[in-house]
Structure 1
Amino acid sequence: MIRASVVGASGYVGQELIRLLIAHPEVEIVHVTSTSKVGEQFDDMYGNYRDIFVKPFVEQDLEKIAEDSDVIFLALPHGVASHLVTEELIKKVKVIDMGADYRLGDVEEYENWYKTRHESPQLIKKSIYGLCEIKKSRIKEYDLIANPGCYTTCSILTLAPVMGNEAFDSDSIVIDAKSGVSGAGRGLNLGTHYTECNESIKAYSVAAHRHTPEIEEQLSQIGGKGIRLLFTPHLAPMNRGILATCYIRLNEDMEENEIRELYNNYYRESGFVRILKEGILPETKWVKGSNYCDIGLKLDKRTNTLVAIGAIDNLVKGAAGQGIQNMNIIFGLDEGTGLIHVPIFPA
């Protein structure tokens, strides 16, 4: 059995990790932590776990936790993991960081976008960006995994098959994305109060969202050239889900069925990516509670622009599910182990 611990288990991503790990046939959860809930029972905080998962929260001592863990999931705010992760720690235990601290290759860019000092920049080169469908062949070589963000997972997967293809103008990319409110985390914030966000939709962090450099860096690596794009996120009045509508112009004439074939070939060995049939477009309700990414395509012949639309559950494929997918790859399991769940509907 893989002995797993979840650091920061009291947040939405942490509890989603617990939900999925409980059902994983090869995992035993040994520790869960919360800096503010030490000694309290997990199922007292989340009633859906009553009599199912009753462990108490323990202190956030990573060195101690590593002694009897094979993998530690860090479900912490950005800027925290870089203070906690050390070279000694990743020699003892696999670390999957759900936050942003090791996602960007350039520490100066990280500090510029996240407005905080990175305390372990030497570990960035010893980590890998764990977008499983793109980096699967290399993930097992690393002890420190930077689990991608939710907007980035959806956007990158939706655009990856056409990056590097000269038929597409990579300088023309525009991404219009929507997120459910759980993407903002469980902490109190006026903007995510029910009466503030219900029956409303708004753009935020326009031309300044922290996932922008992450998307650009990964698409640049896939395409083999530097990419700059427009990314605009929106808060939608729903609990969970990401919908990313991506626009990219074509340099030459193509048919929609040719583009769909490109996508099908690119993801032919990726069981969690579903390329939808002609005339069907993604909806967040069809991926909710699952590790699937649905991608739909429409070619606007009038403007010669591909409209590629992706949908994921931000807490599963956009966070906890992808973290477990990374764990499965690291430990030589089928990457779908413990993750083959039919999306929940209605919910």
Structure 2
Amino acid sequence: MTRKILVTGGTGFIGSRLVQKLAETPDEVYVLVRKSSDLSSLSEVLDHVKLIYGDVTDPDSVHNAMQGIDFVYHTAGLTYMGDKKNALLNKINVEGTRNMLAASLSAGVKRFVHVSSITAVGVAYDRKPLNEASTWNFDRLNLEYARTKRQAEVDVAEAVKNGLDCVIVNPAFVFGAGDINFNAGRLIKDVYNRKLPFYPLGGICVVDVEIVAETIMAAMQKGRTGERYIIGGDNVSYKELADTISSVTGVPRVNFPLPFWMAKILKQFLALKKRKNGISKLFNLSMFRVASEFLYYDSAKAVRELGMRKEPHANSIRSAFEWYRDRDLLR
């Protein structure tokens, strides 16, 4: 029997790869999109999926979209590291998730997979990788994005208590082919173009988008109700990550370490000199503050329960770089 599946955030990096994989199954795949959405990431599968126009922040459109749906993948969300979009972060990440949960409960959805973030897990201040049971401590960094992703998980837990079958997944720092919006891929582009002459002193957990999409689907199939699963890979310092990018792309290594206190001074200097074009857009203080800590995670639970595979982070960097290069997107 054909199942009806709804995906939110299907035009995003993770969401589009998920939709592409779902389109290969016998299921009916519906994608909730806005009238203004750029559909280029779905161009290859538009003949195999059905678009439903709406917005997660509009309860009526979400309610209408949910009718007859069996399974929901909620990947929609705003990723923004700063303090200039706090209201929008709350509206999309928190209120949007609440709208999806309420509509799913009302429509009798059989299972709901919520795509969260590692920021909802916490920060490995002692460099020891965190797991799903770790106490959330991201509030020390005062990052609204992390707060909204954490709050959305609290709301998912409440929906589970009310009878909705939900599973949470927490993807790490995602690289790979198809990142048209240059999310993590901005790092590759800027190292390649020599726009990142320094590196922060923290570290990050890196995972490939293919593994993320596969594991999200496995969570729908095998995940335990109310549980969360970290989808990660190699834990690497930003120095190691920059070295990998340099090695893959063939450009000189980034050799200048930049502590956060020095980054604040440099940022002021660049602002005074009005020199912004030569430095990466990633160089904002909110993002650099987070990058000065260690976002290291243990994905053993996803490996054990969902069959998540692992591969070296260099593979993901290479596939992303080659995808950009072949499409002349690195200029």
TM-score relative to the length of structure 2:
0.43
Higher strand share: 1
